[in-house]
């Protein structure tokens, strides 16, 4: 039995009664992963549901030509692995730890038992799935209609919205993924991302210092509105 305090650290389980937390703690397991360690492989059996208690992960697929295509990054409080459980199919993507991670894992049977006994959890999953579908639609639209500059701008804005520090002096401060990770996320090459980030910096659209990037909270002067609009 794991310590119910683990669940209290995870926003996903917020609002559950002590008895519900006790029930989960008896059936869940804590799994820890190091940076770069694979948590799930694409096409693995879908037999577990994961909630991130600490750390962050990337979700990705391999393209036919061998390139890694990053679908999203998830952080503490997010969950993954639900699609395969709901569909009864194998995993549709791979998941790798970006940092030291602590996850809470539930087996298929325990996952469905938790859903059937608590609508609050079911509602959270539905809300998260709806948000992910909306994000997927935005990514599809971006790839189809925007050039690399537009896709990079939208990526930085989303990064600021999801993980940026509170805006100060009109800028969010975010930890920048590697140029290769950004390229994998927006359908570009690493060289192109490096060049575009330098152009954005030269145009004073963003500020860069090491691995930190200052992203504007509003459309910056000199930027194209269709690149930097927020949704």
pLDDT digits (tens, 9 = 90+) for 137-174: 666 666 555 788 888 888 888 888 877 777 677 788 88
The CATH number of the domain covering residues in 147-228: 1.10.10.10
In this prediction, residue 145 carries a pLDDT of: 58
Half-sphere exposure of 217 (CA within 13 A, CB side): 10
Give the pair of three-digit tokens for residue 38. 């694979």
Considering only 54-63, 76-85, 88-97, 220-229, which range has the smallest mean pLDDT?
Answer: 220-229
| Other Cβ atoms closer than 10 A to 143 | 11
List, edge to edge, every strand of the sheet that includes 101-107.
29-33, 101-107, 48-54, 79-80
Identify the band that residue 221 occupies on the pLDDT scale cut at 50, 70 and 90.
low
Whether pLDDT at 4 is above 80: no
- In this structure, which long-range contacts are made by residues 197-205, counting pairs with CB atoms below 8 Å and at least 24 apart in sequence? 197/152, 199/149, 200/152, 200/153, 205/153
Specify the 3-state DSSP secondary structure of 30.
strand
Terminal CA-CA length for the chain: 43
Phi, psi dihedrals of residue 167, rounded to the nearest 5°: -60, 130
What is the band of 229 on the pLDDT scale with cuts at 50, 70, 90?
A: low
**Is the CB of residue 211 less than 8 Å from the CB of residue 174?**
no
- Give me the residue spans of the domains in the chain: 5-142, 147-228
Give residue 139's pLDDT. Answer: 65
State the CATH architecture for 5-142.
Answer: Sandwich (2.60)
Which tokens hold the place of 223?
Answer: 């930027």
């Amino acid at each position: 039995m794991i310590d119910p305090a683990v669940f209290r650290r995870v926003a996903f389980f917020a609002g559950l009664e002590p008895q519900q937390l006790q029930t989960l703690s008896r059936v869940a397991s804590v799994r820890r992963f190091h940076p770069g360690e694979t948590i799930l492989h694409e096409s693995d059996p879908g037999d577990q549901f994961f909630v991130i208690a600490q750390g962050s992960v990337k979700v990705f697929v391999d393209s036919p030509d061998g390139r890694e295509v990053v679908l999203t990054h998830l952080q503490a409080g997010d969950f993954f692995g639900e699609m395969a459980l709901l569909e009864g199919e194998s995993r549709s993507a791979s998941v790798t730890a970006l940092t030291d991670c602590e996850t809470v894992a539930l087996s298929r049977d325990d996952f469905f038992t938790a859903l059937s006994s608590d609508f609050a959890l079911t509602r959270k999953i539905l809300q998260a799935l709806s948000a992910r579908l909306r994000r997927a639609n935005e990514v599809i639209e971006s790839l189809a209609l925007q050039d690399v500059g537009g896709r990079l701008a939208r990526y930085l804005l989303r990064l600021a919205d999801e993980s940026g520090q509170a805006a100060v002096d009109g800028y969010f401060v975010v930890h920048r993924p590697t140029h290769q990770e950004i390229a994998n996320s927006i359908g570009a090459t690493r060289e192109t991302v490096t060049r575009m980030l330098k152009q954005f910096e030269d145009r004073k659209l963003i500020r860069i210092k090491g691995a930190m990037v200052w992203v504007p909270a509003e459309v910056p002067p000199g930027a194209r509105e269709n690149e930097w609009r927020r949704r």
